[in-house]
A = this chain, B = another copy of it.
Amino acid sequence: MSVLTLYNRERSGNCYKVRLMLSLLGLDYEKVAVHREGKNRNNLPPGYDSLNPLRQLPVLVADGKPYWGTIAILVFLARKHGGTAWLPDDAEGEGEVTQWLSLGQNEIFYGLGRARSMRANRWHGYGTLDEAHQIAAVALRALEGRLGERDWLALDRTTIADVACYSYTVFAPEGGISLKPYPAVRAWLARIQALPGYLPTPPYDGAGGPLVE
């Protein structure tokens, strides 16, 4: 069995994605806790640049080899420990899954993820809350469109596409975004929460003010 070490901050939505995947796969791993230092900076351990030249979280070290980029970590874990159920290896299936990996890292992160960080005064990038909400709406419409017709984002089963898009979507209320207009998205969140090995989200710390319903 390989040795897995996750450089982790509990409330980071990208770190949570990886912890959720590890939990769904039933894998043991060690955590190295990274904390915020002031608003804009993580308290990264010395030598972190050699693990990730972008100095971002998460990093997963597997048998001594570091992987950065949340999508890459999900792909690595699925291929190594999950089999083709979680990530198919035929062109059509893998292409379909990858579409949603990309949505998770772009519109979902820059929309829903950014709104959550901004509202909690933890966002270190650019843009306004309004812009984040506009991008979130684009992402949520794409999710709702698909999930109105099918149970899962790609193919007809749970894949890493669902894990990749779940994280910041479930945090929508922390970013001031109501999921009321998206019933199919809410039903899909509940399906993920019912999966064997599901790992609950970190409890809301109240930093962004009252949750919207």
A residues bordering B, Cβ < 8 Å? 53-54, 62, 65, 67-73, 75-77, 79-81, 89-92, 94-96, 98-99, 101-103, 105-107, 125-128, 131, 138, 141-142, 145-146
Closest to A2 in B: B91
What's the least CB distance linking A136 to chain B, in Å? 13
Which listed residue, B107, B126, B127, touches A54 by the CB 8 Å rule?
B107
Closest to A87 in B: B94
Which listed residue, B79, B80, B98, touches A75 by the CB 8 Å rule?
B98
Closest 7 CB pairs of A and B: A76-B95, A80-B91, A79-B91, A72-B98, A69-B102, A53-B142, A72-B99
Q: Which residues of B contact A95 (CB under 8 A)?
A: 67, 72-73, 75-76, 79
User: 28 A-B residue contacts at CB 8 Å?
Assistant: A54-B103, A54-B107, A54-B142, A62-B92, A67-B96, A67-B99, A69-B98, A69-B102, A70-B102, A71-B98, A71-B101, A72-B99, A72-B102, A73-B95, A75-B94, A75-B95, A75-B98, A76-B95, A76-B98, A79-B90, A79-B94, A80-B91, A89-B89, A106-B106, A125-B131, A126-B128, A126-B131, A127-B127
**In the complex with contacts A126-B126, A126-B127, A127-B126, A53-B146 CB distance below 8 A:** yes
Q: Which residues of B contact A70 (CB under 8 A)?
A: 102
Closest to A142 in B: B53
Contact (Cβ within 8 A) B101 A76: no
A103 and B56 alpha carbons, distance in the complex (Å): 12
Closest to A69 in B: B102
Given contacts A65-B92, A67-B95, A75-B91, 17 further A-B contacts (CB under 8 A): A53-B141, A53-B142, A53-B146, A54-B103, A54-B107, A54-B138, A68-B99, A69-B98, A72-B99, A75-B98, A76-B94, A76-B95, A79-B89, A105-B105, A105-B106, A126-B131, A127-B127
A107 and B89 alpha carbons, distance in the complex (Å): 27
Q: Which residues of B contact A103 (CB under 8 A)?
A: 54, 69
A128 and B127 alpha carbons, distance in the complex (Å): 9
